[in-house]
Structure 1
Amino acid sequence: MKKQTPGLSDAYALSTPEHSRRLYADWAGTYDQDFAAGQNYLLPGLTAKAFAAAGGTGPVLDVGAGTGLCGQALRALGVEPVDATDISAAMLAEALRKDVYRDVIEANLLEGIPVPRGSYRGVVSSGTFTHGHLGPEVLPALLRVAAPDAWFALSVNSRFYGKAGFAAAFERLRRGQWIKHLTLPETRIYGPRATGTHKDDTALIAVFQKV
């Protein structure tokens, strides 16, 4: 019996890092065609554009890079070098095939990122801050690897933004003088060819600068 291809509902139902590794190991080989192309997935490109428009430059860390769609978009905009980090070795293997990353780093963000403090002038993330994935608890780990004045562009599913407490987290970081110039433009996640329950979902792209 043929194993069913994973989908968005499976991803949104994830509950542990090990569940994430298993799901994305199964999904990695078909993700770009069945999901990204099939659902007209716009968010990686829009996140890259928001980063570049803010004045973001490399070296950049692509957080939750998956198969490398955001890294590909960054390179098309002339932003490089870019490194990728993801919990899934299988997804990173797909990302490497795109030949857009300087390096890939397999890491569970809840345990931190094994690179020196202040390694990056920019941090981007597309599709990682959403249901079943990561919330604002990993923001300190991202700030640690960013140099002073580094730009961030982090997409957050709009419904998840409120549910997970991102507004309060960003306010704490602002008051603590960790971040500045926060804007939250809203964008569609999928284009007009998308189908299914989530086809009209939106994301907020948190664009800000580390102090």
Structure 2
Amino acid sequence: MDTDKAHVALDSVYGAGSPEALGDAYAAWAASYDSETASLGYLLPFLIAAWVTRYVPAGEGPLLDAGCGTGLTGPQLRALGYHDLVGLDLSDDMLKVAAGRQAYGELKKAMLGGPLPWPDRHFRAFFSTGVFTIGHAPASGLHELVRITKSGGHAIFTVRDQVLDKGGFRNVFAELERAGKWRPLEESPWFRCYAIADPDALVKTFVFEVL
């Protein structure tokens, strides 16, 4: 069953002990990722489009899909009139699948938590789902994402319940606010990552305006 395979794959990516191991886990999952996460009712790549359209008008500049995976969000946003989309991910195999969707003008391999290959204030906004989660990108990665986002732009991303406090996200939120780098606009209630499976897997969506 796809749901059984998806749970095995999720255990593999959550249990990866290093960026290299995480990349290997996603390389092994890339070909079946879409069908297996769909079997769980994984809704984050589609739901994030609602927050993007709430805060970011189409046509105001490039948007970064930070941790785009197989690019599930790209076609949703293109259908809503967003055509200047850029994706980054740590996995070449996932990026190959994303390229096949023909929704992104540019795709780059990069690791959140390290330096990103764009100049200051390049993007109108960045969005990210399922990336700030167990065993994945660190909260410190937000500093670089804010650096490459324009003043007046937006940071829109989900954070998994199990890492929000333990992973230092609240601390980084406060650091960036104290430094005058952003201000909070919205914090959603907790909601499910999967419409069908894993009812206890919860996330919040956060929206900040970059200053």
1:152 aligned partner? 155
- Structure of higher RCO (CA pairs closer than 8 Å, 6+ residues apart): 1
3-state SS in 2 of match to 1:156? strand
Deviations 1:167-202 (A, max 9, x none): 1211111121110133210322111x22xxx33311
1:127 aligned partner? 130
Select 1:188's aligned residue among 170, 186, 192: 192
AA aligned to 2:193 is I
Contact 1:56 1:122 in 2 (8 A): no
Instruction: Kindly indicate whether residue 45 of structure 2 is the aligned counterpart of residue 44 of structure 1.
Output: yes
How far off is 1:158 after superposition?
Answer: 1.7
Instruction: Kindly indicate whether residue 198 of structure 2 is the aligned counterpart of residue 161 of structure 1.
Output: no
**Where has structure 1 moved over 6 Å in runs of 4 or more?**
none
Contact 1:62 1:84 in 2 (8 A): yes
3-state SS in 1 of match to 2:74? helix
5+ residue gaps in structure 2?
Answer: none
Deviations 1:68-104 (A, max 9, x none): 0122222232223110000101000000111110100
In structure 2, the CA distance between the partners of 1:104 and 1:181, relative to structure 1 (3 Å rule), is: same
Contact 2:146 2:155 in 1 (8 A): no
Structure 1-normalised TM-score? 0.90
Deviations 1:144-187 (A, max 9, x none): 11111111111111221121111121111112111013321032
1:148 and 1:69 map into 2 onto residues whose CA distance is: 27
Write out aligned runs for 1:5-84 (5 A). Answer: 7-35=9-37, 37-55=38-56, 57=58, 58-84=61-87
Count of aligned residue pairs for this structure pair: 203
1:56 and 1:24 map into 2 onto residues whose CA distance is: 32
2:131 and 2:34 map into 1 onto residues whose CA distance is: 16
1:162 and 1:53 map into 2 onto residues whose CA distance is: 27
3-state SS in 1 of match to 2:134? coil
1:175 and 1:115 map into 2 onto residues whose CA distance is: 24
Contact 2:121 2:149 in 1 (8 A): yes
Instruction: Kindly indicate whether residue 112 of structure 2 is the aligned counterpart of residue 114 of structure 1.
Output: no
Write out aligned runs for 1:66-105 (5 A). Answer: 66-105=69-108
Deviations 1:117-170 (A, max 9, x none): 211001000110000101211111101111111111111112211211111211
AA aligned to 1:188 is R
Fraction of identical pairs, as percent: 33
Contact 1:48 1:153 in 2 (8 A): no
How far off is 1:56 after superposition?
Answer: 5.1
5+ residue gaps in structure 1?
Answer: none
Deviations 1:8-66 (A, max 9, x none): 1111112211101111111000000112x111111111122112112354410000100
3-state SS in 1 of match to 2:102? coil
